[in-house]
Amino acid sequence: MEARTRAEREAMSRTSAEQREHECKLVAHHYEHDPEIFRLVLGRQRAYSVGVFAQPDDDLETAQERKLARIREKLDLRPGESVLDVGCGWGSVLLHLAQHTRANIHGITLSARQRDVTTAMARDLGAGDRVHVEVRHVEELALPAESVDAVVFSGSIVHMHDRASVHRLVARALKPGGRVLVSDCYFPKQERGDRHSEATQHIFVTALGYCRLLALSEELSLMEDAGLDVTHVEDLTENYVRTVDRWVDNVRTHRKTIDGMAPGFARLLQTYMTIGRMSFHRRSALEYMVVAVKGRPRVNYGAWPVPGAP
Amino acid sequence: MNERSHGGQAVDVPSRVRQIVADTLQRPVGQIPIDAKLESGLGIDSMAMIDIGVSIEEEFEIALPPDLAERVRVETVGDLVRVVEGQLTARGRN
């Protein structure tokens, strides 16, 4: 696979161990800022990923709640099943699942601060016994084969360079019938926009540490190579434009407060979010939610979207 | 309170916009005439345009339209000034 960006080319010149260390250090940096900043910008759930808008004027928290419910529907967790949330952030998905299912939840993040916030919130919800969050790189998880019922990557796989390894370890860890859900950003297969520009470098490296956008077909291919069957894909690109519009509005509203907590951070957020918004608006970046299954699916995906489901 | 004044002084939007453009490009403000073309004349790329937009928002406490960086209607420094004045007027009415 050829490098599409400067960040990707640099990553390809590192050994696996060096790249893991690079991700642990540089990706975590962004998320180690005061969690209060992210509550102001991302809303109550601190969901740092696409919302799903049924109406163009839905507010951010409604759109995020709809997205979280959609992830829950797609993962279809039964009581006592286990789910791994890779890159769990401040726990938006994990805490939603803790509240609305009886599953056992394992979250991993690269940020100690995110681990602490998420762990405390799970305890406050009375779900401390079913939720375990730790700081760990996904490639350093030693999961027994066929030990997990579902794995979710919500706005996190973009930070992981070695996607082939990630999908292989997920496929190995899933039980037969296990599901994996990926919701993230992709490049269109045909190059649109300048992927070597200062703007791309700003968003992928300066703001977010390390990002690697594949083409959707490349991600699906790696999932298939790992032995998984892709069962559902949906485009959420326009929803991402709306989500980012609301984030930027929140940065504007809280600019002084944010700058009081972290000088210059409001500007960094607004700058990278504006670049991202423009890319999704022009479709030089795309947003997809993908579900794949190991073995026979339990759900009839032909009946989706489930009538009446949020 | 008059939103367009700082300490009783009327805001000189053209000078302040030219100063922001100059600071972003790290060039003297004298090299930023009001009729300069942003892209073909001053060589402002999309990253610099976004930087300018954020600086304008910070300076004037306004929200610029999201398509500003696409420069459909904004070709010159003067066009940029008109967008800022339009937003300041709209804010003054609210």
Residues of chain B found within 8 Å of residue A240, distances taken between Cβ atoms = none
pLDDT digits (tens, 9 = 90+) for A155-174: 999 999 999 999 999 999 99
Average pLDDT on B52-65 reads 94
pLDDT of residue A298: 87
Residues of chain A found within 8 Å of residue B69, distances taken between Cβ atoms = 274, 278
Are residues A175 and A151 in contact, defined by beta-carbon separation less than 8 angstroms? no
Interface confidence (ipTM) of the complex? 0.85
Q: Order of strands, edge to edge, in the sheet holding A131-135?
A: A131-135, A104-109, A82-86, A148-154, A174-186, A286-293, A229-235
Helices (H), A32-152: 35-42, 60-75, 92-100, 112-124
Q: Could you say which of A197, A252, A267 has the minimum Cβ distance to residue B47? A: A197
Under 8 Å CB pairs connecting chains A and B tally to: 38
Are residues A276 and A193 in contact, defined by beta-carbon separation less than 8 angstroms? no
Q: Which residues of A make CB contacts under 8 Å with B?
A: 197-199, 202, 245, 248-249, 252, 255, 267, 270-271, 274-275, 277-278, 281
pLDDT range class, residue B76, cuts 50, 70, 90: very high
pLDDT of residue B94: 64
How far apart are the CA of A157 and the nearest CA of chain B, in angstroms?
Answer: 25
Nearest to A73 by CA among A188, A187, A150: A150
pLDDT range class, residue A193, cuts 50, 70, 90: confident
In chain A, the residue whose alpha carbon lies closest to the alpha carbon of B66 is A274
Say which residue the tokens 């803790």 belong to. Answer: A98
pLDDT range class, residue B91, cuts 50, 70, 90: confident
Residues 6 or more apart in contact with residue A72 via CB below 8 angstroms: A96, A97, A100, A101
Query: How far is residue A25's CA from residue A17's CA, in Å, rounded to a whole number?
Result: 12
Average pLDDT on A18-45 reads 96
Are residues A37 and A47 in contact, defined by beta-carbon separation less than 8 angstroms? no
pLDDT of residue B66: 80
| pLDDT exceeds cutoff 50 at B49 | yes
Residue B43 half-sphere exposure, CB side, CA atoms within 13 Å? 5
pLDDT digits (tens, 9 = 90+) for A55-69: 989 999 999 999 999
Best of A192, A202, A274 to mutate (most B CBs within 10 Å, chain B): A274
Say which residue the tokens 């977010």 belong to. Answer: A208
How far apart are the CA of A195 and the nearest CA of chain B, in angstroms?
Answer: 13
pLDDT range class, residue B69, cuts 50, 70, 90: low
Tokens standing for residue A288: 């997809």
Nearest to A23 by CA among A90, A109, A143: A109
| pLDDT exceeds cutoff 60 at A295 | yes
Residues of chain A found within 8 Å of residue B53, distances taken between Cβ atoms = 274
Max Cα-Cα span within chain A: 53
Are residues B32 and B21 in contact, defined by beta-carbon separation less than 8 angstroms? yes
pLDDT range class, residue B3, cuts 50, 70, 90: very low
Query: How far is residue A124's CA from residue A217's CA, in Å, rounded to a whole number?
Result: 41
Contact B45 A197 (CB under 8 A): yes
How far apart are the CA of A242 and the nearest CA of chain B, in angstroms?
Answer: 11
Lowest mean pLDDT among A123-137, B8-22, B47-61: B8-22
Residues of chain B found within 8 Å of residue A197, distances taken between Cβ atoms = 45-47
pLDDT range class, residue B1, cuts 50, 70, 90: very low
pLDDT digits (tens, 9 = 90+) for A106-149: 999 999 999 999 999 999 999 999 999 999 999 999 999 999 99
Are residues A300 and A192 in contact, defined by beta-carbon separation less than 8 angstroms? no
Tokens standing for residue B33: 């005439």
Q: Which residues of B make CB contacts under 8 Å with A?
A: 45-47, 50-51, 53-54, 57-58, 63, 66-67, 69-70
How far apart are the CA of A215 and the nearest CA of chain B, in angstroms?
Answer: 23
pTM for the predicted model, two decimal places = 0.93
Tokens standing for residue A152: 């979710």
Nearest to A210 by CA among A73, A20, A76: A20
Would strands A104-109 and A82-86 be described as parallel, antiparallel, or unpaired? parallel
Tokens standing for residue A7: 């960040």
Query: How far is residue B85's CA from residue B91's CA, in Å, rounded to a whole number?
Result: 10
pLDDT of residue B4: 47
Percent of chain B with pLDDT over 70: 84
| Segments of chain A assigned E as strands | 82-86, 104-109, 131-135, 148-154, 174-186, 229-235, 286-293
Percent of chain A with pLDDT over 90: 91
pLDDT range class, residue A306, cuts 50, 70, 90: low
Q: Could you say which of A197, A271, A278 has the minimum Cβ distance to residue B51? A: A271
Query: How far is residue A185's CA from residue A290's CA, in Å, rounded to a whole number?
Result: 11
Contact A277 B58 (CB under 8 A): no
Q: How many CB atoms lie within 10 A of CB A213?
A: 23
pLDDT of residue A301: 78
Which of A1-10, A34-43, A193-202 reaches the highest mean pLDDT?
Answer: A34-43
Are residues A61 and A41 in contact, defined by beta-carbon separation less than 8 angstroms? no
Q: How many CB atoms lie within 10 A of CB A34?
A: 13
CA distances from B36 to A188, B24, B25, B47, B73 (A): 35, 15, 13, 18, 14
Say which residue the tokens 């916009």 belong to. Answer: B17
